[in-house]
Structure 1
Amino acid sequence: MTRWWSLRWRMAVVATVFIVFLTNPVRSQPQTNVLTQSCSQVNVINFQIFISNLNDTYRDIRRQLSNNNTYFATSNVASNSEPVYVMAQCRKYMSTSDCVRCFDFAASSIRSCSTFNGARLVLDGCFLRYESSPFNDQTTLPGENKVLCDNSTSSGQSVFETTMDGLLSNLSIATPNINGFYAAATTPVVGTNTTTAYAIAQCVETVTPDSCKSCLQAAYANIRSCTTDASNGRAVNLGCFMRYSNTAFFRNNQTFDIAPFLRVGSSSNKVVIIKGVVGGVGGVIILLIVILWWYGRSKRTTPGGGATEVKDSKDYSYIDLKKATNDFGDENKLGEGGFGEVYKAILDDNKVVAVKKLKVGHTGAKTGFENEILLISQIRHRNLLGLLGWCSEGSNLLLVLEYMPNGSLERFLWGERKGTLNWRKRYDIILGIARGLAHLHKEFHVKIVHRDIKSSNILLDDDFHPKIADFGLARFQPEDQSQVITKFVGTLGYTAPEYVRYGALSDKVDTFSFGIVILEIISGRRCTNENFDGPSTDHLLEHAWKLYENQKIVMLVDETMNVNPDEEKHVMKIIEIALLCTQSPASKRPTMSEVVLMLSNDPSYEERQLTRPTLPDQNRRIHIGSS
């Protein structure tokens, strides 16, 4: 009977997969040329439920795209243990039938990612993406911004390059101001009678105009590398797409007059703008193209002149930040760390922010600065500290960040606010940190490992919502590697033993650190505290394990926190989750997505057996510096 039921279940799953993935692809359609495909690295937990949800959203997406003049669709099933969020978009020069066929082809091609909880596929004519959490506001992300250049060149390539550069610059400026975030335009190539430049730009319709603008400016910066020697090119970002060619890939009657949507310079320097379809000859057009090329370049501002694309953030002047912090006075200092000092600042509009001033003398200061801008600017999550702006003037490197009125978590655990957090607030803080880390680890196809999770890097807002801060040591984990070997950087006591001893870095290093932070939140003690029971030299983790093995784990609870019997049972469960996060080897630790399910008491997650971990040697001498 058991074997028969197992066989029936497998057949049901196979049938479900058939519905989703085996639509006949239209291989003869040029718009189904695959540009990029990526899968997340997190397996779904309940495959049957996940595929059923994916089926429902795909059917809904296909129904929406089947309506005339519908080129963008989203759908989700978020009411059970395997939520699914799906987005699809077609280029607006396509017919409804071609759009649906492109979607069918994408649904078929993306089947190789079917066991993972996220995937993205971009074709010439459309794209398809699904995830287990919302992503509607995402536009750019390091590692996901691709540029594809053809090998072919155009006759008179230098003239073509100049013409195309001006057209692409105009599209990057105008498209965010157009309803639907789409524009197609053409212009004759100067000095030729037959060559025309064709280009389109498009953003997903769920982002803001500013986010669309930032995404397309990043795409424009990337695609310009193609125009020097290629007659065809494409820039693919999470939330936008740009393409150009010297041959038509849409009809002439599908162009758009972008002139009314271009923002030109103010005052006396008015510039005549290239429209969607432009006529004209000789030196006038050449002059206009040069001006527009210069204008497009001047619009791109990145800290330090690098390639970092900063999303929705501002370039501040050093003089303004110096004034806002009262000349970086001690009375405004909020804290100090290995990489710099943090000050409270009041800007001219009376907005209160935090300014992080990096220590330039530190050899890793510049790297840390670029890391933080690169990472924080791309991340938007309620449990991750947001970047508002930056300043890079000479040797002055500063970050402008959200201001957290309640400061760091450590103030409430062993500082002047010790004993003021009840269990409900502590639990909410734990869950918030877990959600922030899960976002870093699985929301993006390029995994981000923080590497320095500790109580002092957890900041609290007015309502005690936690935000993970200090991304100076964070780094990407390649998609095709479960771990990388690198020089250790971080804080001893919070760091996983395999990373301390061998430099083996993975997202499970963050999981270990998170487990230590849970123990600190519950016990109210630092992880490096000793003398728990008389002359003991045990640190917090070892002390917690001894209490757990002796069935006295309740003795770990902070004596300043009054808990009732129901809360005590809940605390014990969270302690066990903390101990599970500190298991060794790293493969025994849950992912942070799984931790969120466990903390949320999700019934779909199965309990795991605890084993005693490998305890790190806290006294080992290790050089701590920048990798």
Structure 2
Amino acid sequence: MTFLVVLLVLLLTEPTVLSQSNDNKISIHCRGTPPTSNFIKNRNSTFANMRMTLLSQRVLYARAQDLSGGDSVYAAAQCRNYLSVDQCVGCFDVAFFELAKCMVGNGAYVFLDECYVRYESFDDFYDNPNATADGASTQFSSCGNVSVSEQSSTNYTQSVDKFLSDIRDATPKTSNLYVANIRQFTSENATVYAIAQCSANINPAICGACMNTAYSILKACLPRTEGRFSDMVCFARYSETPFFNVNQTVDIRSILRGGHSSKVATTAGAISGVVFLLLIFFAWLWYRLQKNAKKTKQEDLKGTLNYNYKDLQLATNNFNEENILGKGGYGEVFKAIIDDKNVVAVKKLQMQHAKAKEEFENEVKLISNIHHRNLLRLLGWSSDGSNLYLVLEYMANGSLDRFLWGSKKGTLDWNQRYEIIYGIAKGLSHLHNEFHIKIIHRDIKSSNILLSDDFKAKIADFGLARLQPEDKSHISTKFAGTLGYVAPEYAIRGVLSDKVDTYSFGIVILEVISGRRCTEMNSDRPSMEYLLEQAWKLYEKKIHIKLIDETLDLNQYEQEHVMKMIEIALLCTQSPASKRPTISEVMLMIQDGKSLGKRQLTKPTFVHNQERRIHIGSSKKTTGAPNAIYKSKESEEFECKYQQTR
């Protein structure tokens, strides 16, 4: 509260250099769970620290954090490079004024033309601006209301389009990932100002991908005379109205390949010399690394680290059995301590055919682009002979199945189980919706859900993940997955879509609620029903409350909540697949506490024992999973029995 008073005084007494007109578009988004008073206090202190950093260090980018009292707050702010520091602070103050209104969530961001400010309860977004708590898109765009005359619209569109494409191409090639340029178009009697800027601490490749998106969206604004695009990764804007000074431009022609021939020749000669020197340097560096067996921290495979095998061998005490976290179908997972302080998990994969390494690298490239707080992060990899090693996040509590029917059975209360279910939904929503193409996990199950030390769920094991093109409702492929969790249309006919993940998620919800394996028969009943079948029969009789884990001590409100979750799970397991909701729809149902609405449930399709035996072995996949989970010992026997298809 003290900080808030001080900052309000500053806002009232200190001249705000930046004028926020109607043209300075604001996009603000608040999300997450309602913050505590301590969280708000920590949020305010981070804002005070960032403001001080901007002023005292005379910079245009700042970060701050406050972790006191268990309410972690991480924040970042960045201004456009054409601003002075005082103007930047003025924009920051306006952004704080907007964000101070966010009293409904523990994460928020605001986009202004001159700056953006963001805070979260996690720090993933520092190095990966796309990381969000709810999987929602952070894009914002707008086009101006004024268009050029119809007679000159074609020439104008072509000319400005070329200008914007130059801005797109030049931005990732600059040292600070920023350009500002002015271009005059005599025939159209127009002068256009344009800038582009990528977030600090990202690499040129990520910047380039965002600039491609920005260019596509701004191009659609033409022939209007103004357009803007904002994302956590980049910002781009063009306008005929000046918004930076003429002396603040960057010479993009010398950066682009299409510059003057003399400049190109000079640049090419300089680059050739630099490349030659770099080749000599890297040859020497490689020799030193090989000779001394030091860890290679050279980035490879889109951001993952290539660890030296001997360093991993040392970190795991020569892969000693005492450090084994779990075993799965592809190998063992070891606890390792890197650099004497960082605890990680190292997955040892045994390659069993000639193309396994190529498949492994392809899968690593896929997963290295995935960053979300509910998805297990791949940190790096290594190889030694026929063995490949994955370095993964270490999750202190291991896999979810340990807490449902393993050694930790009965230790999760309903609130923890609900947060785990919601976290899985958010992770899946990110896979299905946050890329230009759907990523289908194909193996969602309780043993593939890891729990952090505060019981936050992370989806792991992307070894079976596949891409679903945007223009196709499904793809046909050989069955690969874990029986009991797999949707009927996929297990029987090989029809794969994102609704296969929806089905598996519904099964996991039933496991979380009941504390039972989906493949475990109910021996108390003559019919020996599997979990899904029992859940449906109890629902038909309106007594699905009997499915709830007996270890849960629920009040009446919680019982009603759980029963709604059972209905959502049954909705996820409907057949045909068209009757199932998307994961995004499921996530909203879970978040709002609503179940079916106007939807009517029908009896799910049950895959029985005989059908299971028919389809075992229909897939020949043998390569290791790049994000393979480290499974609990309690699930090892279960894995051997039910993962024969893998």
TM range (shorter): 0.5 to 0.7
The CA distance in 2 between the partners of 1:525 and 1:338, in whole Å, is 22
CA-atom RMSD in angstroms: 4.6
Match of 1:445 among 428, 436, 460: 436
> What SS does the aligned partner of 1:406 have?
coil
User: TM-score scaled by structure 1?
Assistant: 0.59
Cα deviation, 1:330-352, whole Å, max 9, x if unaligned, reads: 11111222233211110014100
Which residue does 2:606 correspond to in 1?
A: 615
> What SS does the aligned partner of 1:419 have?
coil
The CA distance in 1 between the partners of 2:321 and 2:460, in whole Å, is 21
Cα deviation, 1:204-231, whole Å, max 9, x if unaligned, reads: 53x332x2334368899xxxxxxxxxxx
Which residue does 1:599 correspond to in 2?
A: 590
Which residue does 1:539 correspond to in 2?
A: 530
Structure 1 residue 88, shift from structure 2 partner: 4.6
Structure 1 residue 71, shift from structure 2 partner: 11
Structure 1 residue 296, shift from structure 2 partner: 9.4
Match of 2:275 among 288, 292, 295: 292
Structure 1 residue 99, shift from structure 2 partner: 12
- How has the CA–CA distance of structure 1 residues 277 and 600 changed in structure 2, closer, same or farther, with 3 Å as cutoff? same
The CA distance in 2 between the partners of 1:479 and 1:183, in whole Å, is 35
- How has the CA–CA distance of structure 1 residues 607 and 342 changed in structure 2, closer, same or farther, with 3 Å as cutoff? farther
What amino acid sits opposite 2:200 in the alignment?
Answer: T
The answer (yes or no) to whether the contact 1:218–1:309 under 8 Å persists in 2 is no
Segments of 5+ residues of structure 2 without an aligned counterpart are 1-109, 119-133, 182-193, 212-230, 237-245, 283-298, 623-646
Which residue does 2:621 correspond to in 1?
A: 626
The CA distance in 2 between the partners of 1:591 and 1:367, in whole Å, is 32
- How has the CA–CA distance of structure 1 residues 429 and 83 changed in structure 2, closer, same or farther, with 3 Å as cutoff? closer
Which residue does 2:480 correspond to in 1?
A: 489
The answer (yes or no) to whether the contact 1:485–1:505 under 8 Å persists in 2 is yes
Match of 1:374 among 353, 365, 375: 365
- How has the CA–CA distance of structure 1 residues 283 and 557 changed in structure 2, closer, same or farther, with 3 Å as cutoff? closer
Which residue does 1:500 correspond to in 2?
A: 491
Which residue does 1:436 correspond to in 2?
A: 427
- How many residue pairs get matched? 427
- How has the CA–CA distance of structure 1 residues 563 and 284 changed in structure 2, closer, same or farther, with 3 Å as cutoff? closer
Structure 1 residue 613, shift from structure 2 partner: 1.1
Given the alignment of the two structures, is residue 584 of structure 1 paired with residue 587 of structure 2, yes or no?
Answer: no
- How has the CA–CA distance of structure 1 residues 277 and 388 changed in structure 2, closer, same or farther, with 3 Å as cutoff? farther
State how 1:73-472 maps to structure 2 within 5 Å.
Answer: 85-88=138-141, 124-126=162-164, 175=174, 177-178=175-176, 181-182=178-179, 204-205=197-198, 207-209=199-201, 211-215=202-206, 255-256=250-251, 286=269, 288-289=271-272, 291-292=274-275, 295=278, 310-361=301-352, 365-366=356-357, 369-472=360-463
> What SS does the aligned partner of 2:380 have?
strand
Match of 1:550 among 525, 534, 541: 541
The answer (yes or no) to whether the contact 1:71–1:99 under 8 Å persists in 2 is no
The answer (yes or no) to whether the contact 1:214–1:310 under 8 Å persists in 2 is no
Q: Which one scores higher on RCO, CA 8 angstroms, separation ≥ 6? A: 2
The CA distance in 2 between the partners of 1:290 and 1:99, in whole Å, is 48
> What SS does the aligned partner of 2:585 have?
helix
> What SS does the aligned partner of 1:334 have?
strand
The CA distance in 2 between the partners of 1:605 and 1:442, in whole Å, is 22
The answer (yes or no) to whether the contact 1:454–1:513 under 8 Å persists in 2 is yes
The answer (yes or no) to whether the contact 2:503–2:572 under 8 Å persists in 1 is yes
Match of 1:512 among 495, 498, 503: 503
- How has the CA–CA distance of structure 1 residues 278 and 626 changed in structure 2, closer, same or farther, with 3 Å as cutoff? same
Structure 1 residue 278, shift from structure 2 partner: 11
Given the alignment of the two structures, is residue 477 of structure 1 paired with residue 472 of structure 2, yes or no?
Answer: no
The CA distance in 2 between the partners of 1:553 and 1:604, in whole Å, is 14
The CA distance in 1 between the partners of 2:145 and 2:405, in whole Å, is 64
Cα deviation, 1:89-134, whole Å, max 9, x if unaligned, reads: 99xxxxx999999xxx9xxx9xxxxxxxxxxxx965559xxxxxxx
> What SS does the aligned partner of 1:335 have?
strand
What amino acid sits opposite 1:600 in the alignment?
Answer: Q
The CA distance in 2 between the partners of 1:314 and 1:482, in whole Å, is 35
Which residue does 1:573 correspond to in 2?
A: 564
Q: % of aligned pairs identical?
A: 51
The CA distance in 2 between the partners of 1:502 and 1:257, in whole Å, is 54
The answer (yes or no) to whether the contact 2:420–2:456 under 8 Å persists in 1 is yes
- How has the CA–CA distance of structure 1 residues 560 and 296 changed in structure 2, closer, same or farther, with 3 Å as cutoff? farther
The answer (yes or no) to whether the contact 1:532–1:543 under 8 Å persists in 2 is no
The CA distance in 2 between the partners of 1:586 and 1:428, in whole Å, is 26
The CA distance in 2 between the partners of 1:484 and 1:575, in whole Å, is 29
What amino acid sits opposite 1:470 in the alignment?
Answer: D
- How has the CA–CA distance of structure 1 residues 204 and 570 changed in structure 2, closer, same or farther, with 3 Å as cutoff? farther
The CA distance in 1 between the partners of 2:469 and 2:263, in whole Å, is 49
The answer (yes or no) to whether the contact 1:314–1:388 under 8 Å persists in 2 is yes
Structure 1 residue 239, shift from structure 2 partner: 5.6
Structure 1 residue 563, shift from structure 2 partner: 1.2
The CA distance in 1 between the partners of 2:596 and 2:402, in whole Å, is 34
- How has the CA–CA distance of structure 1 residues 343 and 283 changed in structure 2, closer, same or farther, with 3 Å as cutoff? same
- How has the CA–CA distance of structure 1 residues 559 and 591 changed in structure 2, closer, same or farther, with 3 Å as cutoff? same
Structure 1 residue 585, shift from structure 2 partner: 0.1
Structure 1 residue 294, shift from structure 2 partner: 8.0
What amino acid sits opposite 2:394 in the alignment?
Answer: Y
> What SS does the aligned partner of 2:424 have?
helix
Structure 1 residue 543, shift from structure 2 partner: 1.3
The CA distance in 1 between the partners of 2:579 and 2:500, in whole Å, is 12
Cα deviation, 1:352-405, whole Å, max 9, x if unaligned, reads: 011112111267743552244122211111100111111245433221111000
The CA distance in 1 between the partners of 2:512 and 2:178, in whole Å, is 46
Structure 1 residue 614, shift from structure 2 partner: 1.1
What amino acid sits opposite 1:578 in the alignment?
Answer: A
Cα deviation, 1:153-180, whole Å, max 9, x if unaligned, reads: xxxxxxxxxxxxxxx9xx86x62x42x5
What amino acid sits opposite 1:537 in the alignment?
Answer: M
User: TM-score scaled by structure 2?
Assistant: 0.57
What amino acid sits opposite 1:86 in the alignment?
Answer: Q
> What SS does the aligned partner of 1:600 have?
helix
The CA distance in 1 between the partners of 2:583 and 2:410, in whole Å, is 28
Which residue does 1:24 correspond to in 2?
A: none
> What SS does the aligned partner of 1:346 have?
strand
The CA distance in 2 between the partners of 1:544 and 1:566, in whole Å, is 20
The answer (yes or no) to whether the contact 1:440–1:449 under 8 Å persists in 2 is yes
The CA distance in 1 between the partners of 2:454 and 2:396, in whole Å, is 9
- How has the CA–CA distance of structure 1 residues 317 and 532 changed in structure 2, closer, same or farther, with 3 Å as cutoff? same
> What SS does the aligned partner of 1:518 have?
helix
The CA distance in 1 between the partners of 2:466 and 2:280, in whole Å, is 29
> What SS does the aligned partner of 1:401 have?
strand
- How has the CA–CA distance of structure 1 residues 369 and 253 changed in structure 2, closer, same or farther, with 3 Å as cutoff? same
The answer (yes or no) to whether the contact 1:371–1:471 under 8 Å persists in 2 is no
What amino acid sits opposite 1:87 in the alignment?
Answer: F
Cα deviation, 1:40-77, whole Å, max 9, x if unaligned, reads: xxxxxxxxxxxxxxxxxxxx99xx66xxxx69999xxx
> What SS does the aligned partner of 1:611 have?
coil
- How has the CA–CA distance of structure 1 residues 436 and 296 changed in structure 2, closer, same or farther, with 3 Å as cutoff? farther
- How has the CA–CA distance of structure 1 residues 313 and 86 changed in structure 2, closer, same or farther, with 3 Å as cutoff? same
- How has the CA–CA distance of structure 1 residues 97 and 315 changed in structure 2, closer, same or farther, with 3 Å as cutoff? farther
The CA distance in 1 between the partners of 2:336 and 2:595, in whole Å, is 46
Segments of 5+ residues of structure 1 without an aligned counterpart are 1-59, 75-80, 91-95, 110-121, 128-146, 149-167, 185-200, 221-236, 243-250, 263-273, 300-307
- How has the CA–CA distance of structure 1 residues 295 and 88 changed in structure 2, closer, same or farther, with 3 Å as cutoff? farther
